[in-house]
Amino acid sequence: MNQTPVIFSGIKATGKMHIGNYLGAVKNWVTLQNSGDYQTIYSIVDLHSLTIDIGKEELLANTGDMTIDLLATGIDPKKSILFIQSQVKEHAELAWVFNCILPVSELEKMTQFKDKAKRHKDNVNMGLFDYPALMAADILLYHATAVPIGDDQDQHVELTRKVARKFNNRWGEYFQEPQTILTKIPRLMALNDPAKKMSKDLGPKSYIALSDTPDEIRDKIAKAVTDTGGGKNAVGGKNLIDLFEAFVDDDNIAAKFKGDYKNGQLQYSTFKPMLANVIISALKPIQEKRKELAKNSDYVASVLKEGAEKARTMAEKTMREVREKIGLL
Ligand code: TRP
């Protein structure tokens, strides 16, 4: 048996994609897809989005926006399977099985759960607690052997390996343990608060969305917190250097600014406008593609329909085998 290895990853429908999502994970999704070495499967995980208090219209709009963003950044439905998680029922079904082998004590260790429970005290629901079981189901349904993600998700993939081992111990060797794949910048920091990870939760000044206008980008970079004053913001300058390196084509310029930064000689008044320009031009082709796709909703719908069909065929096979292994009729 010499099958193409499977790569799986997911992204929540939290609205428009920002450069933290893009550089932390999605850029890698595209590279892995284009390598031709894998069957790549990518999902917009709307069931995971339900763990926070989100309205119907917002969820629908976010799912649509994320689909367009993924296609605009280069996810190619001819090469990858792209689908919406809730359209393949087996995700929820396998998550239930995993619920029955996952100790509560393991879930209690998850830092993401602890953080979110603290931040949304009024909505600490079971789904939030159980989030990693569903994530393990996402990955293992397709027998993925590698998962490209940002570093905040590493603990969940580690737990997925544990789930695979527990399943195999109880019902016989079946699932392979997946590995994490990180990008060069697995964690981009918030522009307005560089001690924290770039995130929608910290408000629009924290991040640059792929769809931000040139003026918005210039403004956010101009106001980005740098190392001035040291202390907890000491990573702010480094974060901007990382961004420059990720988006610029000319390695020499990047090396020069990096050197200046290290020597404490970086002139932000020169560097920041250049950084803004580099980001603006890197995002331009993505934004043009985005506009085109937004006009073509029939095409986008057909991509998702086909993606769900392909994913379903694989997921149904796994669930048939799982049911048979564990004694469900
Ligand atoms: N939890 C991931 C995040 O917040 C999204 C996700 C859900 C995912 N299921 C997954 C990532 C499976 C990788 C594999 O970013």
Are both 63 and 96 inside the same structural domain?
yes
Could you tell me which of 119, 153, 149, 147 has the C-alpha nearest to residue 51? Answer: 119
Is residue 228 included in any domain, yes or no? yes
Are both 92 and 16 inside the same structural domain?
yes
Are both 179 and 251 inside the same structural domain?
no
Are both 91 and 128 inside the same structural domain?
yes
Report the pLDDT value the prediction gives residue 217, as an integer from 0 to 100: 98
Are both 114 and 233 inside the same structural domain?
no
Are both 262 and 302 inside the same structural domain?
no
On whether the CB atoms of residues 101 and 322 are closer than 8 A, the answer is: no
Number of the ligand 1 atom closest to the C-alpha atom of 21: 15
Are both 147 and 88 inside the same structural domain?
yes
State whether residue 103 is helix, strand or coil.
coil
Angstrom distance (rounded) from CA 35 to CA 30: 9
State whether residue 18 is helix, strand or coil.
strand
pTM beyond 0.85, yes or no:
yes
Is residue 221 included in any domain, yes or no? yes
pLDDT at 232 over 70: no
Is residue 129 included in any domain, yes or no? yes
Is residue 134 included in any domain, yes or no? yes
Which residues, in sequence order, are bridge partners of residue 180? 147
Are both 122 and 42 inside the same structural domain?
yes
Is residue 201 included in any domain, yes or no? no
pLDDT digit string, tens, across residues 251-267: 899 999 999 999 889 99
Is residue 216 included in any domain, yes or no? yes
Range of the domain at 275: 212-291
Is residue 204 included in any domain, yes or no? no
Q: Is residue 115 part of an annotated ligand binding site?
A: no
Q: Is residue 188 part of an annotated ligand binding site?
A: yes
- The arithmetic mean of pLDDT across residues 271-296, rounded, is 97
Mutate to test the pocket of ligand 1, among 86, 141, 149, 182 (most ligand atoms within 8 A of CB): 149
Report the pLDDT value the prediction gives residue 12, as an integer from 0 to 100: 93
Protein residues with CB under 6 Å of any ligand 1 atom: 8-12, 45, 48, 135, 138-139, 147, 149, 153
CATH of the domain at 320: 3.40.50.620
Are both 92 and 159 inside the same structural domain?
yes
92 is written with which tokens? Answer: 């929820």
Average pLDDT over all residues of the chain:
94
For 282, residues 6+ apart whose C-beta sits below 8 A from its C-beta are 247
Confidence of residue 315 (pLDDT cuts 50, 70, 90): very high
Sign of CA dihedral 68, 70, 76, 80: negative
Are both 218 and 154 inside the same structural domain?
no
Q: Which residue lies with its CA nearest to atom 15 of ligand 1?
A: 11
Confidence of residue 214 (pLDDT cuts 50, 70, 90): very high
CATH of the domain at 277: 1.10.240.10
Is residue 196 included in any domain, yes or no? no
Q: Is residue 203 part of an annotated ligand binding site?
A: no
- The CB density around residue 148, as the number of other CB atoms within 10 Å, is 25
On whether the CB atoms of residues 264 and 226 are closer than 8 A, the answer is: no
On whether the CB atoms of residues 200 and 14 are closer than 8 A, the answer is: yes
DSSP 140-207: HHTT-SEEE--GGGHHHHHHHHHHHHHHHHHH-S-PPPPEEE--SSS-PBPSS-TTSB--GGG-TTS-
Percent of the chain with pLDDT over 90: 86
pLDDT digit string, tens, across residues 101-150: 999 999 999 999 999 999 889 999 999 999 999 999 999 999 999 999 98
Count of domains for the chain: 2
Sign of CA dihedral 236, 242, 244, 247: negative
Are both 113 and 157 inside the same structural domain?
yes
Number of the ligand 1 atom closest to the C-alpha atom of 156: 1
Could you tell me which of 230, 19, 310, 32 has the C-alpha nearest to residue 148? Answer: 32
Are both 122 and 255 inside the same structural domain?
no
Rounded to the nearest whole angstrom, what is the distance from the C-alpha of residue 180 to the centroid of ligand 1?
Answer: 12
